[in-house]
Amino acid sequence: MLDLKFLRENPELVKQNIKNKFQDSKLPLVDEVIELDKLSRACKGEADSLRANRNKISKQIGALMAQGKKEEAEEVKQLVAQNAKRLAELEALETEYSEKITKIMMTIPNIIDPSVPIGKDDSENVEVQRYGEPVTPDFEVPYHVDIMEKFDGIDLDGARRVAGNGFYYLMGDIARLHSSIISYARDFMIDRGFTYCVPPFMIRSGVVTGVMSFAEMDAMMYKIEGEDLYLIGTSEHSMIGKFMDTIIPEEKLPQTLTSYSPCFRKEKGAHGLEERGVYRIHQFEKQEMIVVCKPEDSKMWFDKLWQNTVDLFRSLDIPVRTLECCSGDLADLKVKSIDVEAWSPRQQKYFEVGSCSNLGDAQARRLKIRVNGKDGKYLAHTLNNTVVAPPRMLIAFLENNLNEDGSVNIPVALRPYMGGKEKIEIK
C-alpha cells in the first residue's frame, strides 16, 4: 500500500504507474482519494478545534458559576452541547473517510522499480540469464505422472476419491525423494545463514490483507468456515505476519528466515495436460525464504535471494533460467520480481519453479512493521523467495535425471538424504 502523503504529492506519478501496469480502470481512484483526503483533513481540523475549545469553555462555565452568573453559564452549556453534537458528527465522518481512503489505497498498485520492463502480461516477461546447458536426451521423456507410476510412486485416483481433483498420494521412492529435496533445501538455506522456522499454517484475515491484494486472496485462499482463519497459500504469509505490529531495533536487521510449510491454494480454472499431475495442485509443500531489512539493503537482498534458488537447482544438475517479470505480471504490492524457471526436456522449454519478490515497504505499511533507527522510526522492507516446491520441482528433477532404462540418477548433493542411493530403479 502506498503512503497517502506520497500519493497526495505525486498524483501524476501514481497515475503513470497505474498505466504502466495496464490497470487504467483504477485511474479515477487517485483523484477520488485526493478529494476524500481533503474532506478528511478539513473534518479533522474542525474537530481538533472543537476539542481544543472544549476545555477552555469548561473553565469558562466554572468561572461563571463561581460568580453566580447561572443564566450565562447555562447559555455556555448549551453551546457546549451543540459543539459536542457537532464533534460526534465530525468524528463519525473522520471514521467514514478513513475507511473509504484505506479501502481505495489497498487497491492502488505499489510503485514499480524503474528497472521493471513494461508489458501487459507474463508473455512479455524478459529472460535475464541461463544457468547450465539444457539437454535433450536421445530417448523420449515420458509425462511426469507416467515416470512416477513406473516406480509405483503416485496414486492420483485414490486421492481423487478421498479429496477430489488437485490432490495426490506420493509413495515409496518418489515420496522419499520429495522429502529428501525438502530436507536438502532446509539445510542448504541454513548453511547460507538463514534461521530455520516452522510457522503456523493458518492466519487471521488481518494478516491476509496485510500480505496480499484482495484479488490474490480471492483467487488463492481457503477460508475456515465460522472462524477468522485462512489456510496459508505459502509460508511467506505467516512468516511476514510474525513481525506485524512490532518495532524492530535497527541493529537486529536483517531478519533472514527460511521456513517449511504445507501450502493450500484454490488454483481456479482449467489447465492443460502439462499442468495436471503434480504441477498445479491444491496442496503441496514448500521451503521458503523471507527477509526483513532496511530500505537501502532490499535491492542487494533481492539479488541474493533469487541466486540462492539458482544455486540450489544447479547443485541438483537441473538447468534453469531467470526471468524478469514485466509490469503487467507484477502483483499490486510488488516492486520487482524475478521468476526462476527449470528446463523441461519433455516440453523442450522452461517452466516456473520459483518466484522472488521485493515488496518494498508495502507489506510493512499494512502490517505496521517498523524499525527503530538512530534517526527515528521507519518502515522496514520485506522480500520473499521460493527455495523449492518439491511437487513441481519433482517434474524438473525426474525429467533431467532420467535414464533411458527408466531409472533416475540421484545427484551427489542429495544422496545423504536418500540413504546413499546413486539412483532409483524401476521395481
Would you write out the chain's pLDDT as a tens digit for each of its 427 residues? 899 999 999 999 999 999 999 999 999 999 999 999 999 999 999 888 888 776 666 666 666 566 666 667 666 666 767 778 888 889 999 999 999 999 999 999 999 999 999 999 999 999 999 999 999 999 999 999 999 999 999 999 999 999 998 899 999 999 999 999 999 999 999 999 999 999 999 999 999 999 987 778 878 899 999 999 999 999 999 999 999 999 999 999 999 999 999 999 997 654 454 446 788 889 999 999 999 999 999 999 999 999 999 999 999 999 999 999 999 999 999 999 999 999 999 999 999 999 999 999 999 999 999 999 999 999 999 999 999 998 889 999 999 999 999 999 999 999 999 999 999 999 7
pLDDT at 50: 82
pLDDT at 246: 97
CA distances from 74 to 70, 84, 88 (A): 6, 15, 21
* 205, amino acid identity: S
**Nearest Cα to 256, choosing from 316, 302, 210?**
302
Which structural domains are found in the chain, ordered by start?
4-105 (1.10.287.40), 122-424 (3.30.930.10)
Alpha-carbon distance 415 to 427, whole Å? 19
pLDDT at 62: 61
Q: Write b or e for each residue in 292-305: b if 16 or more Cβ atoms lie within 10 A of its Cβ, otherwise e.
A: bbeeeebbebbebb
pLDDT at 59: 61
pLDDT at 383: 98
User: 368: alpha, beta or left, given left = phi > 0 and alpha = psi -120 to 50?
Assistant: left
pLDDT at 76: 64
pLDDT at 271: 47
- Grid coordinates belonging to 36: 476524500
Q: 252, 272 in Cβ contact below 8 A?
A: no
pLDDT at 73: 63
pLDDT at 427: 77
CA 302-308-310 angle, to 5 degrees, is 105
Q: 94, 47 in Cβ contact below 8 A?
A: yes
pTM, entire model: 0.89
pLDDT at 58: 63
